[in-house]
Amino acid sequence: MRVDGEALLLSLLNSTPVVAGRPTDELGDDGRAGPWFAANGVPDGDADRREVRRARDLLQAVVRGAEPPSALGPVLAGVVSRASVDDSGVTWEVDADGARGAVVAAVLAWDAVRRGRPGRLRACANDECARFLLDRSKSNNARWCSMAACGNKLKARRHYRRVREGAGEGSTGDGSAGAAG
């Protein structure tokens, strides 16, 4: 099975959105998991759901910095690659199928982003939002999962706070949100 690991990674990370102030779970057993699995082309069974949820929880914790990367060990346990060769050369392909193949693809995508574009994958700076963003901008200063959903809201809030506090604090720059490194 060929999967777009990066798309799957983001879809996984963003499967616990806060909707109208309430945390939700698109992989939950309340009837919404089915559509998620179908939309992402991931096989759907009880064991598959357990596997995918576990990987999702770990990836979220690692990207947030709440767990070290080594916490992903169980997701990769026993995973092997198979080599093949043709006229263009040697290709290594992960030998895992079903939901396992999908979560391994997501973890490999996470690793590729971390190495190739460090710091680009992060949690939305709105701490009332449980989404993540992969910053593809040149300046690498995107902070919100989406400007419409979170950016405008927080900008307005910060503006209000600044106006209310006046020019009280002199010292160093603006010590706003900046959740994680």
Query: What is the rounded distance in angstroms from the CA atom of residue 63 to the CA atom of residue 180?
Result: 10
- Residue number with CB closer to Zn ion (28 or 151): 151
Query: What is the rounded distance in angstroms from the CA atom of residue 117 to the CA atom of residue 99?
Result: 26
Q: Out of 131, 142, 143, 154, name the contact with Zn ion by CB under 5 A.
A: 131
For 17, 56, 127, the CA distances from 99, given in Å and listed in that order, are 22, 12, 30
Instruction: Give the number of residues in contact with Zn ion, rule: CB under 5 A.
Output: 6
- Residue number with CB closer to Zn ion (94 or 145): 145
Name residues contacting Zn ion, limited to 76-115 (CB under 5 A). none
14 binds Zn ion (CB under 5 A): no
- To Zn ion, the closest distance from the beta carbon of 84 in angstroms equals 42
- To Zn ion, the closest distance from the beta carbon of 125 in angstroms equals 8
Asked whether 1 and 97 are in contact (CB, 8 A), the reply is: yes
DSSP assignments along 78-111, one per residue: T--EEEEEETTEEEEEE---HHHHHHHHHHHHHH
Q: Out of 63, 113, 121, 145, name the contact with Zn ion by CB under 5 A.
A: 145
Kindly report the CA angle at 169 between 165 and 174, in degrees rounded to 5?
90
Q: Out of 3, 62, 124, 154, name the contact with Zn ion by CB under 5 A.
A: 124
Name residues contacting Zn ion, limited to 149-178 (CB under 5 A). 150
- Decide: helix, strand or coil at residue 54: helix
Compute the chain's Rg from CA coordinates: 19
10 binds Zn ion (CB under 5 A): no
Of the candidate spans 31-39, 104-112, 127-135, 157-165, the one that interacts with Zn ion by CB under 5 A turns out to be: 127-135
Asked whether 140 and 83 are in contact (CB, 8 A), the reply is: no
Q: Out of 126, 132, 142, 143, name the contact with Zn ion by CB under 5 A.
A: 126
Of the candidate spans 17-25, 93-101, 139-147, 153-161, the one that interacts with Zn ion by CB under 5 A turns out to be: 139-147
**Binding residues vs Zn ion (CB under 5 A):** 124, 126, 129, 131, 145, 150
